[in-house]
Amino acid sequence: MDRPNNMAHQDEIKEVFSPQEEVFDRWRRKIGLILGPILALVVYYIPFPLPPSAHLMATLMAGTMIYFITEPIPLPITALLAPMLAIAFGIGRADEVLSSFGNPVVFLLLGGFLIARAMEYHHISRRFSLFILSQPWVGHHPYRVMVALGGVTAFISMWISNTAATAMMFPIAIGLLHSMGLKNSNAYATGMMLMIAFSASIGGIGTPIGTAPNLIGIGMIEKYIARRISFVEWVLLCVPIMLVMCVALYLLLISLHRSKTNVPKKAIVISETMGEWRTGEKNTLVVFLVAVFLWVLPGILGLIFGGQSETVKTYYQRLPEGGVAILAASLLFFLPIDRAKGEYTLHWEEAVKIDWGTLLLFGGGLALGDLMFKTGLSKAMGQGALTFLHAPSLWGITALSILLAIVISEIGSNTASANMVIPVVIAIAQTAGVNPIPPALGATLGASFGFMLPISTPPNAIVYGSRLIPIQKMIRTGFIFDLIGWIIIWVGLRLLCPLVGLS
């Protein structure tokens, strides 16, 4: 088959924890397995002033949130189990609850996963990264290498999963460090590893398909606020925030991890080459560009004819973003590599390797959010939060939503954080009588943060496995960058939401 051979550094990458981390993770799961049902029973027997269906939903959500945070069973199973229990308890009808798994945004995620799988399979992202890193202006200074590596990782993560972007760039970075003679932990090596992991998480916020919380936020905003955020609107809002974060990350890393080692300038050598473009790579690139063009086209039409014109409305009716993703991804199974042998750009054996679990987690999160709204639980929680917060302002609620999402992402998955926080902050904002879009966006973007621990996010775990990052340095850097990110997201939303028309 016309695809590149595995590269020398493309070894299997595993999440590696210290013995203390492994003990913590094991006990977290064991305690969560028991604590979830116990907390659910406690909530059930507390006489909250709630309608019966909302009280049952609160009971279910109490146990589900513990399972989301502690992960005693796989998160996708929790996301499936919770809606099924809601049906069994009579909280919602099966056809209504399970319809969330067919939400159009699920198909946007599915199509994006298929295109990303083809890009990984044919090593397009690797070709791009090696091209950038081999440029003369990069190779003359070790900190330029760090900038280039972070920039490439962030850009790639805008289009494929954060974990995949990190797994791809990790062996490249290790090879670069070895070529510099830095095989043991030192300040520069630590900074390089953290640059990869943090840049992957930052880059994911740049496009709707960059990471699952983005699509969860978009889906919930459209469902509960009746406001569609287009691909172009998201990019105009989030890419500037992403770029500021990248600059802040670089400045933080060189200030905390400046190397005292004198690294020879000519030691930075990228010896790996990928040869001529292969047919599979060309086909995948065409499909990728077709998808991006069709996602961006409504914004162009809006500039020409007006955002509310019939032309734009008809386009969205005929080619919604989820439909574009599926149509573009389908081309991968039509464009041939070798027609005589029946070889096409993507075959099903590779396609099935996409992250089906995230699709289930996404659908389950939407189902739970919908049930929280329909039963009135979200409204009750919002009223309770307002009483506690003493009538906060729009931007006070937004700051709180960002912080809450970041904190939960440190101890649970970013997808679980988005599923739990976004419906609540929407309800809080609606109860307060303020625009719920900025708080929802704040929770969405905050869910992509979580930089303090290896267990906070897979990119952190991957680079921690290099043994080049002392845990105390990851915690210190991650904590500072969480605070910096909180401020950048809040300021970015306050400045850009009015310009994009989202406030």
d(CA 157, CA 429) in angstroms, rounded, equals 31
d(CA 41, CA 43) in angstroms, rounded, equals 5
Least reliable range by pLDDT among 90-104, 242-256, 260-274, 321-335? 260-274
The string of pLDDT tens digits covering residues 203-256 is 989 988 788 889 889 888 988 888 888 888 899 999 999 999 999 999 998 888
Look up the pTM and report it.
0.68
Report long-range pairs for 342-349 (Cβ below 8 Å, ≥24 apart).
Answer: 343/1, 343/2, 345/118, 345/122, 345/280, 345/283, 345/284, 345/287, 346/114, 346/117, 346/118, 346/121, 346/284
pLDDT at position 6 is: 35
Least reliable range by pLDDT among 1-15, 65-79, 271-285, 388-402? 1-15
The string of pLDDT tens digits covering residues 356-401 is 887 887 788 778 877 887 888 877 776 676 667 665 788 988 998 8
Residue 335 in domain: no
Residue 224 in domain: no
DSSP-based three-state secondary structure for 392: coil
pLDDT at position 9 is: 35
CB-CB contact of 371 with 57 (8 Å): yes
Residue 345 in domain: no
Residue 336 pairs in a beta bridge with 344
Residue 50 has pLDDT above 70, yes or no: yes
Q: Residue 228: which residues within 8 A CB-CB, separation 6 or more? A: 222, 316
C-alpha angle with apex 319: 334 to 280, nearest 5 degrees?
Answer: 25
Q: Which helix (H) or strand (E) holds 138?
A: helix 136-139
Residue 27 in domain: yes
The string of pLDDT tens digits covering residues 334-368 is 999 988 888 999 999 999 988 788 788 778 877 88
Rounded average pLDDT over 52-70: 88
Query: Which letter, b or e, does each residue of 471-496 get, where b requires 16 or more Cβ atoms within 10 Å of its Cβ?
Result: eebbeebbebbbebbbebbbebbbeb
Residue 53 in domain: yes
pLDDT band at 14 (very low <50, low <70, confident <90, very high): very low
Rounded average pLDDT over 253-274: 57
Q: How far is CA 360 from the centre of its chain?
A: 15
Which whole-number Å values give the CA distances from 161 to 81, 340, 382, 414, in the listed order? 25, 33, 32, 12
Residue 57 in domain: yes
Structural domain including 78 reads 12-92
Residue 38 in domain: yes
Nearest residue to 156 (alpha-carbon basis) of 220, 110, 199: 199
Highest mean pLDDT among 285-294, 304-313, 409-418: 285-294
N-to-C CA span, the chain: 51
Residue 32 in domain: yes
Based on the structure, what is the number of domains in the chain?
Answer: 1
